[in-house]
Amino acid sequence: MIVAPTPENVAAAGAALRRGELIGMPTETVYGLAARLWSPEAIRATFAAKGRPADNPLIVHVAHLEQLDEVVAKWTDDVRRLAERFWPGPLTMVLPKRPEVPLEATGGLDTVAVRVPAHPVALRLIDAAGSPLTAPSANLFMGLSPTRAEHVVVPGLAMVLDGGPCAVGIESTIVDLSGTIPRLLRPGGTPRAQIEAALGRSLEGKEAVRRAPGDYPRHYAPRTPVRLAPSLDPSEAGLTLDPPTSERQIRLPRVPTAYGISMYAALHRLDALDVDEIVVQAPPQDEDWEAVWDRLQRATTEAP
């Protein structure tokens, strides 16, 4: 049930969350599948609805920096520096968790992934629920992320709050600050270069432990097989940076942030065409395109 985010509907969604139900929640990145953090049963229902492995940590969404104290055991200067610079916004930090945080939300780990979303409806919903919310993308596991309310196809939700098209359109960047070395776990809506500039040092690569979502070789993928190519033939359906040569081709911008905003919505449209293959013209391979390349490479990986 897709509903407008009126005060009455947000209040009803908050009440549903307090009863242990699940809500489709808009954020600036993608639509999330929201559950109260303090309800392990609702968190388990989240994994069941998505078909998601239980060892895959969830991102906890808080409404403001002060609420972080409910979730995180300790802060560092780096955490405060990034929070003040990038929150609300598409940056997730992995930090040591408080003992009260359910292990169901963290994949059994002693760390928690947390962020403040930059969407007024999401912030109002957190307040209405009276709790931080876990909110993985509101898709089936490994499926294409939803950036519009109508893209949400997860069964069993009390409602989906329609916050309009997502302004960023690609998942948050995830940085692990739980140890002494800051590590980039997933590129996303906040560019690596901006984070490194704020920290004053480089981000290292991830470790073997899966401390954040989106760490599978195949992820964020449409049902239709995807292939990268230098360009598209007129007979091929897909995403192009050049002028389209057929009605089954969608031209996306040559600016990485604008490309990211439109990418998932365009892939949803192509996936609905029931074609044999989606061909994507390869974008430039420089650091500004890191997050887009990450998503396209995962989408082109064959299912296990």
Domains of the chain: residue spans and CATH:
2-199 (3.90.870.10), 226-300 (no CATH)
Dist CA 281 CA 271 (whole Å) = 16
Strand partners, 221: 143
88-128 per-position pLDDT tens digit = 999 999 999 999 999 999 999 999 999 999 999 999 999 99
Is pLDDT of 28 > 90?
Answer: yes
Please answer whether residues 184 and 212 qualify as being in contact, where contact means their C-beta atoms are separated by less than 8 angstroms. no
Structure confidence at residue 208 as a pLDDT band (50, 70, 90): low
Examine the pLDDT at 209 and tell me if it is beyond 90.
no
CA distance 78 to 85: 11
Structure tokens at 255: 């600016």
CA distance 185 to 46: 22
Does 207 score more than 80 pLDDT?
no
> What pLDDT, on the 0 to 100 scale, is given for residue 66?
87
Question: For the whole model, what pTM was predicted?
Answer: 0.95
Q: Is 110 left (phi over 0), alpha (psi -120 to 50) or beta?
A: alpha
Strands 23-25 and 32-36: antiparallel
Distance CA(250)–CA(268), nearest Å, equals 11
**For residues 197-217, average pLDDT:** 82
Q: What is the pLDDT of residue 302?
A: 75
At 202, is the pLDDT very low, low, confident or very high (cuts 50, 70, 90)? very high
Q: Please tell me the distance from the alpha carbon of residue 209 to that of residue 89, in angstroms, as a whole number.
A: 25
For residue range 52-99, list pLDDT tens digits in order. Answer: 988 899 999 999 988 999 999 998 999 999 999 999 999 999 999 999
Q: Up-side HSE of residue 126: CA atoms within 13 Å toward CB?
A: 23
pLDDT digits (tens, 9 = 90+) for 218-270: 788 899 999 999 999 999 999 999 999 999 999 999 999 999 999 999 999 99
